Amino acid sequence: MLKPTCVVLLGLFASARAAMEGFVAGGQYAKIANQAHSVFLDVLQHVSKEESWMCGSSILNQQLLLTAGHCCHGCSYASRIKIHVGSANRELGDIHDFHDFVIHENFNRQSLVNDICLVKVRTPLTLRSNAVTRVALNRYPPYGETATVAGWGVIDVSN
C-alpha cells in the first residue's frame, strides 16, 4: 500500500529546468490532519483498456481541485476519475466522482510547462477541519524558500 508522504523541496521555483526529474523521493510519512487539503485521484483513462494511474491533488474549494496537467492529459469524459478525500488511506474516506476538468491551455507534455489542471467534483465536498480542508496560502512564498509537497507514494525508492 502506498502511504501519504510529505516531501520538503529546497529552492522551489529556483529554476525552470528543461530536463525534469521523473519523480520526487525523500521526506517523511505524514498524517492527513497535517495535509488535510490533500486528495487522492484514481484515474482510469479508457475503461476498455484498463489504463490507470494515481495522482495527488489539493482542494481549492468545495467543488474545485488543483492537480497536475499530466494527470488529466489524455483523459476524456469516458474516463473515470475517482476522488478520495478525508483519509490518508486511499481505500478509506469519502469517494466522489469528477464532473469536469480543464488542463492549462499552454500545457506542454514534454517540458511540463504549465503542468496544471482544475478538476470539478460532481457533488460538493463536505469540508471538515480535521481531514478535509481547502489549501490556503497566507502569502506568496519568497523565491528560494523551502516548500512542502504532499501526495501518495514512496519516500525511499530502494525499499
Query: pLDDT, tens digit, for every residue of 37-58?
Result: 888 888 876 655 667 778 888 9
Predicted pLDDT at 8: 37
Domain ranges for the chain: 3-10+33-153
pTM of the model: 0.72
Residue 43 neighbours by CB under 8 Å, 6+ apart:
52, 53, 54, 55, 71, 72, 75, 79, 80, 81
What is 3-10+33-153's CATH number?
2.40.10.10
Distance between CA atoms of residues 35 and 149, nearest Å: 9
Per-residue pLDDT of the chain (159 residues; tens, 9 = 90+): 444 433 333 333 333 333 445 455 566 776 767 788 888 888 876 655 667 778 888 999 999 999 988 888 877 766 778 888 888 777 788 889 888 899 999 998 888 899 999 999 999 999 887 778 888 777 887 888 877 777 766 666 565
